[in-house]
Structure 1
């Protein structure tokens, strides 16, 4: 399975392509789509759409994981990033990708396990998780990688919880209360 991670913006859109195969992650590509601030917003949005379609056509991802908008102090910024997100989502929908959205807090927790992690901590974990020699640059691309990894981790958790809930139906329980040790043994023996 291939995941397209997106850190949306108007001047810079970070992207990443990560492949999940046999519980192993492989970073296939990452980078940024840049638009010139002197162009009209319409032209910038068209560049984002066209460049994203090239990436989608090249790698044929199955899922798109994109960062959700969060509060901006500048209303003009939130509107323009919202427009860019719309174009990005359109590219995903047009190309039949399953789309998933994550808040910055979810990404921090998904990568570091800590919701107040700073950007450097997230980047170091991305480097560690993917066994890279250095932190990916620029920051927007590193963020897109973190978003894709968060999505993969959420898929693994969902898959694990589905398997666990199927295996642990009430018919397998001999009593209504059990210790943590008994629960763990039941879980391990139901696989």
Structure 2
């Protein structure tokens, strides 16, 4: 399974593609950050993010997209930009008919580090270890995008198998 993880943000939108499956080593395919300047109007910044995500979807052809679920913070201007970038990511993936999952920051932290309260350095260190990298991806938004992709492979893949097994069970019940 190939997953594009997206850590949405208006200034820095992290993108990371990971390939693998549960129980097997995961492989880093690519990682980067789309940057926009606060000096540019928000609509133009969102267009830049959309074009960047579209290019990654075209280039890497993921099987699924995992986006960080927006959560309430005390700084409403930060959450607004994150929500706008998240919406762009969701629309870009949905337009292609890709499966989309959202994961909360604490779910991602728990999946990669074992603790939902892990800090950015711990998440970066675990992403480095899981993907067998020489150094943590920089900036932290890039590592967070990879952590989202890892979480989806580990959790989303398991959920997909459960859903498929339940569907088979329902069909078997109808044919009896």
Aligned to 1:25: 26
Aligned to 1:36: 37
The Cα offsets for residues 28-58 of structure 1, whole Å up to 9 and x where unpaired, read as 1001001111111100000000111011101
Matches within 5 A, 1:111-122: 111-122=112-123
Checking the alignment, whether the CA contact within 8 Å between 2:25 and 2:131 is kept in structure 1 is no
| CA shift in 2, pair 1:113/1:161, >3 Å | farther
The alignment's TM-score, normalised by the length of structure 2, stands at 0.87
SS in 2 for 1:97: coil
State yes or no: 1:71 paired with 2:89: no
Q: For the residues of structure 2 that align with 1:63 and 1:50, how far apart are their CA atoms?
A: 18
Aligned to 1:94: 95
Rg bigger for which structure? 1
Stretches of structure 1 that go unaligned for 5 or more consecutive residues are 166-191
Offset at residue 164 of structure 1 (A): 9.2
State yes or no: 1:8 paired with 2:8: yes
Q: For the residues of structure 1 that align with 2:152 and 2:41, how far apart are their CA atoms?
A: 33
Task: Show structure 1 runs of 4+ deviating over 4 A.
Answer: 159-165
| CA shift in 2, pair 1:96/1:73, >3 Å | same
Offset at residue 24 of structure 1 (A): 3.2
Aligned to 1:53: 54
Q: CA RMSD in A?
A: 2.1
SS in 1 for 2:20: strand
Aligned to 2:82: 81
| CA shift in 2, pair 1:105/1:155, >3 Å | same
Stretches of structure 2 that go unaligned for 5 or more consecutive residues are 167-176
Relative CO higher for 1 or 2, CA cutoff 8 Å, sep ≥ 6? 2
